[in-house]
Amino acid sequence: MMRMVDIIEKKRDNFTLSRKEINYFIEGYVNSSIPDYQVSALLMAIYYNGMTDEEATHLTEAILKSGDTIDLSGIDGKKVDKHSTGGVGDKTTLVLGPLVASCGAKVAKLSGRGLGHTGGTLDKLESIEGFNINLASEQFVKQVNDINIAVAGQTAKLAPADKMLYALRDVTGTVPSIPLIASSIMSKKLASGADVIVLDVKIGEGAFMKTIEDARKLSKLMVKIGTNFDRKVVAFITDMSEPLGFAVGNKLEVLEAIRTLQGNGPDDLQNLCIEIGSYLVHNSGITETIKEARKMIQKKITSLEASDKFKELIEAQGGKVPDLNDYIHTNGIIAVKSEQAGYVKSLNALDIGLSAMRLGAGRETKDDTIDMDVGIVLNKKVGDKVEADEVLAYVYNNKADITEEIKTILGAFTITENVVEKKPLILEIIE
């Protein structure tokens, strides 16, 4: 007879757990026959001793099987999905979804909400008046067949073991474990039914992963797990030491996404979406090469077909297409100005993200209400030349006193006398 204490001791002593043992612990935790304290002990043993690729694959499978899986067999063609490990100003899904859908790829996207300094795709979409993220599965499938794209909220029945494990990891100091992160992400992606997946693994101050080595390990493991489940998976390692694009805040990011789809967006955001999109389009079998996919995507931006696809998505889900000139309503816009001349050496993404959250653009706790209109629009980024008294950022605000937030935003910029080279955004691509 299997006992949880034996499984804990085995992992504590750095032995490999079998598929049966992993299934036993996940099933027991979900059905409440194994208590929190024993699962906590096992998580800590995994945190210290790690897991083999095979163990991580078995763990992913056990979490995946703990709940429903989305049946997308009713959708014609290969289904594509993208997952980002989260960052500041990361509105990639809002640009990427319509972009690849306009090329003919089938985007069946289940997204989450934001917590802390990283914004959630659902919150950004719900800042659009009338946009409905609660789609019945028949409606979801029909919409993807009709217009190539649908974005909805994740069902609570999807990988319930993951939610339970994450809550426990959060309070036991075991969140930063590569096999636990990989199995968490991949169980949800696999349960969501996609055939082609691109992972955007962020590193830097505003990201979860702090070093390229850890990001590489996580990326390789997730690609391996996906391959073990016969999915086409590619991981991009991208820099999140400064925010992505200029806008941080829900409505502000929607506007930036629309402008990017029209070809008027920030270079870093536009280039990242074109590169990730090229892999999604090519791996769907739409083009023979990545180069052809890249050309196709650039054409869809120039012809405004990508922008039209976003409008089509908004209208299909009950939303009203934003008026670019009358969308943001705040009590005031405050300019944060530089105290010195020079070049931006660094821009702390975490400080910008936390400032936006404190303005009301994000949640500190699950129950917080978001102010969709507020946020920060950067005017300078790393490598840019700055004059004394020149604007570094604009703060869109509805609070009475934002002295602390302005101080934090100003402190996020490090300015030096020497010329600073812009860093590449995409650091590695792992296939």
The residue segments making up the domain with residue 305 are 79-316
Domain annotation covers residue 74: no
**b/e 140-151 (16+ beta carbons within 10 angstroms → b):** bbbbbeebbbbb
> Of 316, 344, 362, which closes a domain?
316
- At 134 the pLDDT is 92
Yes or no: say if 165 and 43 are a contact pair by the CB < 8 Å rule.
Answer: yes
**CATH number of 391's domain:** 3.90.1170.30
* Two tokens, residue 356: 């936006």
CA–CA distances in Å: residue 119 to residues 52, 142, 340: 32, 28, 31
Domain annotation covers residue 322: no
**CATH number of 20's domain:** 1.20.970.10
User: What value does the mean pLDDT take over residues 408-429?
Assistant: 95
Instruction: Provide the whole-model pTM.
Output: 0.91
**CATH number of 128's domain:** 3.40.1030.10
- At 154 the pLDDT is 74
- At 40 the pLDDT is 97
Whether residues 289 and 364 share a domain: the answer is: no
Whether residues 41 and 119 share a domain: the answer is: no
- At 242 the pLDDT is 93
Domain annotation covers residue 62: no
- At 119 the pLDDT is 65
Could you count the other beta carbons within 10 Å of the beta carbon of residue 334? 16
Q: Residue 275, Cα to own-chain centre: how many angstroms?
A: 16
Cα separation of 418 and 300, whole Å? 39
Residue 148, helix vs strand vs coil: coil
Phi-psi region for residue 48, left (φ > 0), alpha (ψ -120 to 50) or beta? alpha
Domain annotation covers residue 244: yes
Q: Which amino acid is at 281?
A: V
- At 159 the pLDDT is 87
User: Judging by beta carbons within 10 Å of its beta carbon (0-12, 13-18, 19+), is residue 263 exposed, middle or buried?
Assistant: middle
Whether residues 307 and 338 share a domain: the answer is: no
Whether residues 393 and 353 share a domain: the answer is: yes
Domain annotation covers residue 342: yes
pLDDT more than 90, % of the chain: 80
- At 206 the pLDDT is 67
State pLDDT tens for residues 352-363. Answer: 999 999 999 988
> Of 251, 282, 316, which closes a domain?
316
Whether residues 135 and 281 share a domain: the answer is: yes
pLDDT band at 192 (very low <50, low <70, confident <90, very high): confident
Q: Could you give phi then psi for residue 310, rounded to 5 degrees?
A: -65, -40
- At 85 the pLDDT is 82
* Two tokens, residue 92: 């990639």
Domain annotation covers residue 206: yes
Q: Which residues are catalytic?
A: 83, 162, 169, 184, 188
Whether residues 23 and 170 share a domain: the answer is: no
Collect all residues with Cβ–Cβ distance below 8 Å to 387 and sequence separation of at least 6: 338, 341
Yes or no: say if 121 and 90 are a contact pair by the CB < 8 Å rule.
Answer: no
* Two tokens, residue 256: 């930036």
pLDDT band at 364 (very low <50, low <70, confident <90, very high): confident
CA–CA distances in Å: residue 290 to residues 5, 81, 357: 50, 17, 38
Whether residues 412 and 379 share a domain: the answer is: yes
Whether residues 131 and 249 share a domain: the answer is: yes
Span of 21-35, 62-76, 272-286, 409-423 with lowest mean pLDDT: 62-76
- At 114 the pLDDT is 59
Residue 366 pLDDT greater than 80, yes or no = no
Residue 209 pLDDT greater than 90, yes or no = no
> Of 316, 351, 368, which closes a domain?
316
Pairing state between β 413-416 and 342-347: antiparallel
Whether residues 247 and 353 share a domain: the answer is: no
pLDDT band at 117 (very low <50, low <70, confident <90, very high): low
Residue 336 pLDDT greater than 80, yes or no = yes
Pairing state between β 426-430 and 391-397: unpaired
Most confident of 31-40, 113-122, 196-205, 360-369: 31-40
Residue 116 pLDDT greater than 70, yes or no = no
Residue 372 pLDDT greater than 70, yes or no = yes
pLDDT band at 368 (very low <50, low <70, confident <90, very high): confident
Whether residues 120 and 223 share a domain: the answer is: yes
The number of domains in the chain is 3
Residue 249 pLDDT greater than 90, yes or no = yes
Whether residues 175 and 33 share a domain: the answer is: no
Whether residues 94 and 219 share a domain: the answer is: yes
Domain annotation covers residue 425: no
Domain annotation covers residue 402: yes
| Mean per-residue pLDDT over the chain, rounded | 93
User: What value does the mean pLDDT take over residues 277-302?
Assistant: 97
324 vs 373: which has the higher pLDDT: 373
User: What value does the mean pLDDT take over residues 274-278?
Assistant: 97
State pLDDT tens for residues 13-44. Answer: 999 999 999 999 999 999 999 999 999 999 99
- At 94 the pLDDT is 95
